[in-house]
Chains A and B, each alone.
Chain A
Amino acid sequence: MAEERRQKLCSVILPTESMKAIAESVGVGSLQEESCLALSEEVSYRIKEIAQDALKFMHHGKRRKLTTGDIDHALKLKNVEPLYGFQSQEFIPFRFASGGGRELHFYEEKEVDLSDIINTPLPRVPLDVSLKAHWLSIDGVQPAIPENPPPVPKEQQKTDSTEPLKAVKPGQEEEGSIQTKGQGASSAEVKGKEKMRMKPRSTHELSVEQQLYYKEITEACVGSCEAKRAEALQSIATDPGLYQMLPRFSTFISEGVRVNVVQNNLALLIYLMRMVKALMDNPTLYLEKYLHELIPAVVTCIVSKQLCLRPDVDNHWALRDFAARLMAQSCKTFSTTTNNIQSRITKTFTKALLDDKTQWTTRYGCIAGLAELGHDVIKTLIIPRLSVEGARIKAVMDGPVVSNIDKIGADHVQSLLLKHCACVVAKTRPLPDMVDQYKADYGYLGTMLCSHVVKARAQAAFQAQTVNRTTLTITQPRPTLSMSQSGLSASSGSRTPNIIKVPSSLTLMSTRPGTPTQPSPPATKYIVMATSAGAASTQQVITLSSSQSGSSVTSTVPSNPTSLQPLVKLESGTTGAVSGSRPLQKYIVVSLPSSSSSLENKGSGVLPSSTSPISMESAVKLERSESPAANIQSPH
């Protein structure tokens, strides 16, 4: 293995095509094949050399991951100018492209949507380095506190359950080795015996604290206080040291389900299922050992004939859906070739589904359970059954005498089938969607399915569309940025000449005094930079706040234009609010970060047309004076 890798390493040389591509990128059109070869060998060697040096920096930086910084330092060692500014904390997102017989790896520089950047609140300042002390060990024993890793990692729980003889707890190992020290020669045997003797002891005993914890948690989980329950579930989902209580939790759940199904206590069943979810969410637990208790409980909640006292009113359907999702999740995580959970579960569901006498509730559960297992399952097991199920539903719906419960059941099954099948059909079935065809293929449900499929297709198309909505084109060489909003096609074409278009983030307060619609946000500051050609620029900080809605405070801040980095520049051909024809003037609107980010109209392309021009005009009147610095005054 190692040998193979080494030999492979030896032959790694950059392809000559890369040399050509790089040469072209710096303007050398035709490079001879031989020079390419020589170059690629040389470059490969140098790169390896630099990588080896960079590794040193990684080791001394006490990291496992090589960073671009390491390479910079290695380059510095070789007296080569480092690649400044190539900072990447994580992986370097190289992309691959091919075409025209060439293959390229390139660094993708995306177009940046500036309005998005403006919209997003500034990232939090990273926390400063701080120091925290905890006990890693007290007199040689590691305390079970959140700062320490779980006492028995998942891996070991696994070996414990799969190979009980090999299992040794860290603490026991120590004890064993200490004891053997005194005992001398026959230590090996003694050690082995101890292990076997100690194993059952540790798994069945709970400390007083653990017992208390168990009691508290179980009570909170099934109790009446929702807040407490949330806390308890959170604890189950995150606490690292629960493995010893796992058998008890598992028994608690399975017994709880058994009892409460009989008593039709829907609420408790829901609580128990949430516990199962929390247990599954806990990354430190090795649940495989207890699946034989948990899965029957979950399946019961999916397919049981009756889960609540009043099936016509209570929403036991939600529980079935939830439990079905849990089942699907456990199939995904725990199913192996040995335990075959998924296939066994699928068989169970299918069998019930095929049975004519199955009640609507159980039928619903089966379909939900199958549907959650994924599109393939829906395709192979549910869609072929659509016509049969459709006929059955039709019988109930159109049939003369039906109990209310059956009707509700059939209704739910119908909507469930439509929901799950529609997207699968939309993906698999070719266009066009003809109602008659659907009817022919799927029977009674065909008509509705067709409309659902059409809807699903439309939605998918819409989602694909919305991905590229407002774009902003930045072309580097030009000094100004132009903004165009293509999302709203109507307004983008004709730009009203006398209105400064305000990007969606700029929140301008309504002028109507005394009606602050919002819980007055802190004053937002805008710096409007105006530049006339060849003149020094002046910044004005306008503070807008809802309390003094009409009058904005204007202060002039003389500034060096280069010092301020404009986030957005707005270009307007003629700004005719007051004076008519002027040479082109540019406004740079820079919004300063406000402490709260309660922005109106988030997400929409522009301000609503009804308010924006008016408010702009009335709030900020732009007046041009002859002086290079444009004054911006409030109209009052």
Chain B
Amino acid sequence: MAAVQDGPMELDAEKETKPEILSDGTSNLSGNTASGTLSSSPLTAAPAGGAPKMEDQQTLIAVLQFLKRNKLSESVEILRREAGLGEHQEDSQATDGSGGGKGDGDGGDANSLLSRVFITSAAAPQSMLVKKDQPDVSVVLSAYSQQGDPPLYQVYYSGLKNFIESVLDCHRAELSQLFYPLFVHMYLELVYNNHETKAKAFFDKFSGDQECYYQDDLRILCGLTKKEHLKGNEVLLDFRTSRFVLRISRDSYQLLKRHLQERHNNQIWNIIQEHLYIDIFDGMPRSKSQIDSMSGSLAGEARREVNKAKVFYGLLKEPEIEVPLDDEDDEAENEEGKPKKKKTKKDSLGSKSKKQDPNAPQQNRIPLPELKDSDKLDKIMYMKESTKRIRLGPENLPSICFYTFLNAFQGLTAVDFTDDSSLLAGGFADSTVRVWSVTPKKLRKVKSTAELNVIDKESDDVLERIMDEKTASESKILHGHSGPVYGVSFSPDRNYLLSSSEDGTVRLWSLQTFTCLVGYKGHNYPVWDTQFSPFGYYFVSGGHDRVARLWATDHYQPLRIFAGHLADVTCTQFHPNSNYVATGSTDRTVRLWDVLNGNCVRILTGHKGPIHSLAFSPNGKFLASGSTDGRVLLWDIGHGLMIGELKGHTDTIYALKFSRDGEILASGSMDNTVRLWDSMKAFDEVETDDFTATTGHIHLPDNSQELLLGMYHSKSTPVTHLHFTRRNLLLAAGAYNSQ
């Protein structure tokens, strides 16, 4: 099926044998493109139920193709009948016939539900209007559910359950994936049609069968007992309207279909058709562990084709600033230091800066700010420091310096270090942001304008003179937010600080004057995280409104809105080359977004809990994500594959960081530990053969214990943030919790 989805090429190939279907399909395609809006054709609307999108239409065609090819003419007939209705009445927009006018009472509700979803997913307004004019969507939703007899739901479900339990082991694991989505949809249908007691009985009977990692969803589900409840519950609206994605091998799928046909079990078949997206692949069925490692997200696994887009994960070319570097060398370093320096430069930077990485994006793919003189100086400092960097490895573990916030009274919510590790910022639940200097150099404000006028601007130490010595202190407090501060991020040049808060704003602070410069409004709900681009200027924020936004510091409106997550965006992270943004969400997926066009280029599923931390490896190839379930997952960005699972933490992982050379991954958690993992080994052991890459079937070695290099308990301090200094000293920070 997936093969078919690739488009017209495949369609042509099939043309000779099945001309009539193909013409249907192609006409649909063309009709769709002609209409120009996303999924406004009734064809898609009818079978897709709540999520009428282009892909769904394609899916439908693909399903038809597939059925044809497999000589399943009955199904084709059924499907075509359903789809055909839409085709004939494509223009009339009156497809009442499909639902037979049933469930008109429910129409209004469903429409409002749908429109809500459309708003949240930022669909084109006209398509929304079209939707509103079409009663058939709601009819489909309700008509569908009226076909079945509610008391029989239990029978249907247990019938399927018996069947799946009786099939061969190799298929059972795959088909078991069906349980959860079917369970949820059947339950929701029952609730939707006001069969309260039936729904409750159904829930009680089968909720125990579901995988343990769906517990959180089931908890929400069990509270839902009335149709009115459905209205406001975003999570379930999403579930209802987005299609749950399953990956099933062809053999298993046919088994299932044959079973459903034999039993004439249209009820389940309809749900599968309408609410599930079954991604069929050729080859061996996957094992239970393979399935388990990838499942767990709110909307099932990622479709394979969404991870096919090319991601330029390489690093950008380093700017040429070698001349001043050498000057610096001559001045600062003695004779001995010089040759060594050059040698190391070749080692560490040569590969990056001299040759263009084939996987790197074009240098100007995203316009980046010009380097200022101060930035160049900083780069030189960086290079000098990196020559003194300790090479870490399993035999050479980093030292960890722990910064404990005392007397924070559980109010510490976010921490960030500057890249050069000179400043530390803490966001607090009492709406303040505090900045500390962790070096002997104290924090000073710039003098007032009146005083600045007096200064001799020609003098050499003018930068020193503009600072007000009287204000020197070790820490400064920034007041401005009106709710807990959930995210802080320093700009790379250390002049600015970003903070995001419960009050729905992101604020930009100047670290020269220690005042607020801009309040970026856009998220109307709490902003959970914000992050500066590694090159400055851009930053990303993500919040409860389920979108991540890309901003530029000099624009008060976002440049990009990354919409697609089904729940809160909890953490954000820029790719080292600044062309991509990774976001983690409560819907238990990680998504990678292209900054250039705002597209979602990767959907990474496998976490079993909300994701609270993300980290890119310094070479940009890999991504690590940590979640409330205490597991760290490692991802290969290029292939969009999970390549490792680090188990060990017993509580939410709030901090992840790769060492400067990427050899060590440090993770910090609520369980008061910092753990060090051998990331080199984890990445080396990955089998990236073509088969794995194309099918996406991964075999995860269970080697967490081998990869764990060290575990360090703090007394009673959850680890909120981790940071590797330029010399590979690990800094950790957290608030002491006296209980």
- Let me know if A148 and B397 touch, CB within 8 A: no
- Let me know if A137 and B224 touch, CB within 8 A: no
- Let me know if B711 and A2 touch, CB within 8 A: no
Binds A, one of B48-56, B202-210, B508-516: B202-210
With an 8 A cutoff between CB atoms, is A73 at the interface? yes
- Let me know if A44 and B429 touch, CB within 8 A: no
With an 8 A cutoff between CB atoms, is A134 at the interface? yes
With an 8 A cutoff between CB atoms, is A213 at the interface? no
Contact of B654 among A42, A57, A62 (CB under 8 A): A62
- Let me know if A136 and B402 touch, CB within 8 A: yes
Instruction: List CB contacts (< 8 Å) of A40-94 with chain B.
Output: 41-42, 44-45, 48-49, 52, 56-57, 59-65, 69, 73, 77, 89
Residues on B with C-beta less than 8 A from A69 are 429, 484
Binds B, one of A95-103, A173-181, A437-445: A173-181
With an 8 A cutoff between CB atoms, is A404 at the interface? no
Q: Mark B60-101, 1 if CB is under 8 A from A, else 0.
A: 000000000000000000000000000000000000000000
With an 8 A cutoff between CB atoms, is A126 at the interface? yes
Residues on B with C-beta less than 8 A from A135 are 399-402
Instruction: List CB contacts (< 8 Å) of A213-241 with chain B.
Output: none
Contact of B226 among A45, A127, A134, A137 (CB under 8 A): A45
What's the minimum C-beta distance from A38 to chain B, rounded to whole angstroms?
9
What's the minimum C-beta distance from B77 to chain A, rounded to whole angstroms?
41
Contact of B400 among A2, A6, A10, A137 (CB under 8 A): A137
With an 8 A cutoff between CB atoms, is B285 at the interface? no
Contact of A73 among B405, B475, B483, B714 (CB under 8 A): B483
What's the minimum C-beta distance from A245 to chain B, rounded to whole angstroms?
21
Distance, CA A133 to CA B233, complexed state (A) = 45
Q: Mark B387-419, 1 if CB is under 8 A from A, else 0.
A: 000000011111111111111111111000000
What's the minimum C-beta distance from A239 to chain B, rounded to whole angstroms?
13
Q: Mark B475-514, 1 if CB is under 8 A from A, else 0.
A: 1000000011010000000000000001000000000000
- Let me know if A62 and B718 touch, CB within 8 A: yes
- Let me know if B407 and A178 touch, CB within 8 A: no
- Let me know if A129 and B399 touch, CB within 8 A: no
With an 8 A cutoff between CB atoms, is B712 at the interface? yes
- Let me know if A140 and B397 touch, CB within 8 A: yes
* Given the contacts A10-B203, A64-B670, A139-B397, A2 and B225 also touching, CB distance less than 8 Å: no
Residues on B with C-beta less than 8 A from A149 are 713-715
Residues on B with C-beta less than 8 A from A3 are 207-208
Which residue of A is nearest B229, CB measured?
A45
- Let me know if B407 and A127 touch, CB within 8 A: yes
With an 8 A cutoff between CB atoms, is B424 at the interface? yes
Contact of B401 among A7, A127, A136 (CB under 8 A): A136
What's the minimum C-beta distance from A199 to chain B, rounded to whole angstroms?
20
With an 8 A cutoff between CB atoms, is B706 at the interface? yes
* Given the contacts A6-B208, A10-B203, A41-B226, A131 and B525 also touching, CB distance less than 8 Å: no
With an 8 A cutoff between CB atoms, is B641 at the interface? no
- Let me know if A133 and B407 touch, CB within 8 A: no
Distance, CA A263 to CA B662, complexed state (A) = 67
* Given the contacts A6-B219, A129-B406, A134-B401, A49 and B570 also touching, CB distance less than 8 Å: no
With an 8 A cutoff between CB atoms, is B610 at the interface? yes
Q: How many residues of B contact A (CB 8 A)?
A: 82
- Let me know if B612 and A59 touch, CB within 8 A: yes
Distance, CA A355 to CA B652, complexed state (A) = 62
Which residue of A is nearest B218, CB measured?
A6
Which residue of A is nearest B228, CB measured?
A42
Residues on A with C-beta less than 8 A from B654 are 62
Instruction: List CB contacts (< 8 Å) of B209-235 with chain A.
Output: 212, 215, 218-220, 222-226, 228-229, 232-233
Distance, CA A44 to CA B220, complexed state (A) = 12
What's the minimum C-beta distance from A66 to chain B, rounded to whole angstroms?
12
With an 8 A cutoff between CB atoms, is A170 at the interface? yes
- Let me know if A77 and B526 touch, CB within 8 A: yes
Residues on A with C-beta less than 8 A from B312 are none
Contact of B732 among A42, A130, A136 (CB under 8 A): A136
Distance, CA A170 to CA B708, complexed state (A) = 12
- Let me know if A148 and B399 touch, CB within 8 A: no
Residues on B with C-beta less than 8 A from A130 are 405-407
- Let me know if B424 and A131 touch, CB within 8 A: yes
Q: How many residues of A contact B (CB 8 A)?
A: 50
What's the minimum C-beta distance from A54 to chain B, rounded to whole angstroms?
12
Distance, CA A138 to CA B204, complexed state (A) = 53
Residues on A with C-beta less than 8 A from B486 are 60-61
Contact of A60 among B215, B398, B408, B413 (CB under 8 A): B413
Residues on B with C-beta less than 8 A from A45 are 223-226, 229
Instruction: From B228, B424, B429, B732, name the one whose CB has the most chain A CB atoms within 10 angstroms.
Output: B429
Distance, CA A177 to CA B703, complexed state (A) = 12
With an 8 A cutoff between CB atoms, is A205 at the interface? no
With an 8 A cutoff between CB atoms, is A24 at the interface? no
Residues on A with C-beta less than 8 A from B676 are 140
With an 8 A cutoff between CB atoms, is A147 at the interface? yes
Distance, CA A139 to CA B390, complexed state (A) = 11
Instruction: List CB contacts (< 8 Å) of B185-214 with chain A.
Output: 200, 203-204, 207-208, 212
- Let me know if B233 and A49 touch, CB within 8 A: yes
Distance, CA A7 to CA B207, complexed state (A) = 8
Residues on B with C-beta less than 8 A from A2 are 212, 215
With an 8 A cutoff between CB atoms, is A467 at the interface? no
* Given the contacts A45-B224, A45-B226, A9 and B219 also touching, CB distance less than 8 Å: yes
Residues on B with C-beta less than 8 A from A181 are 394
- Let me know if A148 and B223 touch, CB within 8 A: no
- Let me know if A170 and B711 touch, CB within 8 A: yes
- Let me know if B714 and A148 touch, CB within 8 A: yes
- Let me know if B628 and A133 touch, CB within 8 A: no
Instruction: List CB contacts (< 8 Å) of B421-444 with chain A.
Output: 424, 426, 428-429, 434, 436, 438
With an 8 A cutoff between CB atoms, is B544 at the interface? yes
With an 8 A cutoff between CB atoms, is B601 at the interface? no
With an 8 A cutoff between CB atoms, is A132 at the interface? yes
- Let me know if A178 and B714 touch, CB within 8 A: no
With an 8 A cutoff between CB atoms, is A128 at the interface? yes
What's the minimum C-beta distance from A491 to chain B, rounded to whole angstroms?
44
Residues on A with C-beta less than 8 A from B572 are none
* Given the contacts A10-B203, A136-B732, A147-B715, A62 and B208 also touching, CB distance less than 8 Å: no
With an 8 A cutoff between CB atoms, is B568 at the interface? yes
Instruction: List CB contacts (< 8 Å) of A1-60 with chain B.
Output: 2-3, 6-7, 9-10, 41-42, 44-45, 48-49, 52, 56-57, 59-60
With an 8 A cutoff between CB atoms, is A142 at the interface? yes
- Let me know if A129 and B403 touch, CB within 8 A: no
What's the minimum C-beta distance from B431 to chain A, rounded to whole angstroms?
11
Contact of B670 among A41, A49, A62 (CB under 8 A): A62
Residues on A with C-beta less than 8 A from B401 are 133-136
* Given the contacts A6-B218, A148-B713, A149-B715, A133 and B402 also touching, CB distance less than 8 Å: yes
Distance, CA A489 to CA B315, complexed state (A) = 86
Instruction: List CB contacts (< 8 Å) of A543-563 with chain B.
Output: none
Distance, CA A135 to CA B398, complexed state (A) = 11
Residues on B with C-beta less than 8 A from A9 are 219, 222
Instruction: From A7, A59, A177, name the one whose CB has the most chain B CB atoms within 10 angstroms.
Output: A59
Distance, CA A73 to CA B410, complexed state (A) = 16
Contact of B223 among A44, A127, A136 (CB under 8 A): A44
- Let me know if A148 and B212 touch, CB within 8 A: no
Residues on B with C-beta less than 8 A from A137 are 397-400, 674, 710, 712, 730
With an 8 A cutoff between CB atoms, is B720 at the interface? yes
Residues on A with C-beta less than 8 A from B715 are 147-149
Closest 3 pairs (CB-CB, A-B): A140-B397, A3-B208, A10-B222
Q: List 21 A-B contacts (CB under 8 A).
A: A3-B208, A10-B200, A49-B233, A52-B220, A57-B502, A59-B610, A59-B612, A60-B526, A62-B413, A73-B526, A126-B407, A126-B409, A129-B411, A132-B403, A136-B714, A137-B710, A142-B712, A174-B710, A177-B706, A177-B709, A181-B394
**Besides A73-B483, A140-B676, 8 other A-B contacts (C-beta < 8 A):** A10-B203, A10-B204, A59-B610, A73-B502, A129-B406, A129-B428, A135-B399, A138-B399
